């Protein structure tokens, strides 16, 4: 079975408003995609408003962690353990 990692993110708290593609909507859409394709969900990583305008990923992860966002560090852990086959990400455009 294909193992899926779901990434739900917005760049700012303002983008997590009802008229935007919210985190719950991103998660719902990704879960539906997994059900349709019979993919196993390994984890759901959420970033509820943090800039991703960084060059260094580890600097981004450290700054996000200071705000209580562990999704970037968890992504690295999943990557290192190779426990997923696909990463599902919603295009915000």
21 versus 77: the higher-pLDDT residue is 77
Among the listed residues 36, 46, 39, 38, the one whose alpha carbon sits nearest the alpha carbon of residue 86: 39
Total number of domains constituting the chain = 1
Specify the pLDDT at position 12: 61
Report pLDDT for 17. 58
More confident call, 91 vs 71: 71
Using left for φ > 0, alpha for ψ between -120 and 50, and beta otherwise, residue 68 falls in left
Residue 66: domain span: 3-89
Asked if 84 contacts 5 with a C-beta cutoff of 8 angstroms, the reply is yes
- At 17-56, the pLDDT tens digits run 555 668 888 999 999 999 999 999 999 999 987 666 788 9
Reported as a pLDDT band with limits 50, 70 and 90, residue 16 is: low
Cα–Cα distance measured from residue 46 to residue 27, given in angstroms and rounded to the nearest whole number: 9
């Amino acid at each position: 079975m294909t193992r899926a990692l779901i990434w739900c993110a917005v760049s700012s708290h303002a983008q997590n408003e009802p008229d935007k593609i919210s985190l719950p909507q991103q998660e719902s859409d990704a879960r539906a995609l997994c059900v349709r394709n019979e993919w196993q969900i390994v984890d759901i990583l959420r970033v509820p408003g943090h800039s991703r305008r960084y060059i260094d990923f580890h600097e981004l992860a450290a700054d996000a962690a200071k705000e209580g966002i562990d999704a970037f560090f968890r992504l690295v852990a999943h990557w290192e353990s190779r426990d997923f086959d696909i990463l599902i990400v919603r295009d915000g455009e």
